[in-house]
């Protein structure tokens, strides 16, 4: 019964980390003080944007669709 508390806390932290990773996008990072450090074109299409704030570097993959009026962030991941 004692292990339920720590396991529940760990599950809550993992859930919150997943939610923040899903809501991270180019616009939110730039609003948080990140600046564009570079861009690249992956072979599969779309564009890659490197954003930097101090020593933190994040890579975001952005795409467009024919129906969309804007280019949208597909995902962002920290670069280690």
In DSSP notation, 31-76 reads HTT-EEEEEE--TTSSEEEEEEETTEEEEEEEE--TT-SS-EEEEE
Supply the pLDDT for residue 34.
97
Q: For 38, what's the count of Cα atoms within 13 Å in the CB-facing half-sphere?
A: 6
Q: Residue 21 above 90 pLDDT?
A: no
Confidence category of residue 64, pLDDT binned at 50, 70, 90: confident
- Please state the pTM of the whole predicted model: 0.66
* Contact between 43 and 71 (Cβ < 8 Å): no
Indicate if the pLDDT at residue 15 is higher than 70.
Answer: no
Q: Strands 47-53 and 56-63, how do they pair?
A: antiparallel
Category of 67 on φ-ψ map: left (φ > 0), alpha (ψ -120 to 50) or beta: alpha
Binned at pLDDT 50, 70 and 90, residue 23 comes out as: confident
Mean pLDDT of the chain: 77
Residue pLDDT, tens place only, 25-41: 999 999 999 999 999 99
């Amino acid at each position: 019964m004692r292990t339920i508390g720590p396991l529940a806390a760990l599950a809550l932290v993992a859930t919150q980390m997943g939610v923040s990773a899903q809501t991270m996008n180019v616009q939110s990072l730039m609003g948080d003080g990140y600046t564009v450090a570079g861009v690249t074109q992956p072979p599969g299409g779309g564009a890659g944007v490197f954003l930097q704030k101090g020593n933190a570097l994040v890579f975001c993959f952005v795409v467009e669709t024919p129906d969309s009026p804007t280019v949208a962030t597909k995902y962002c991941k920290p670069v280690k």
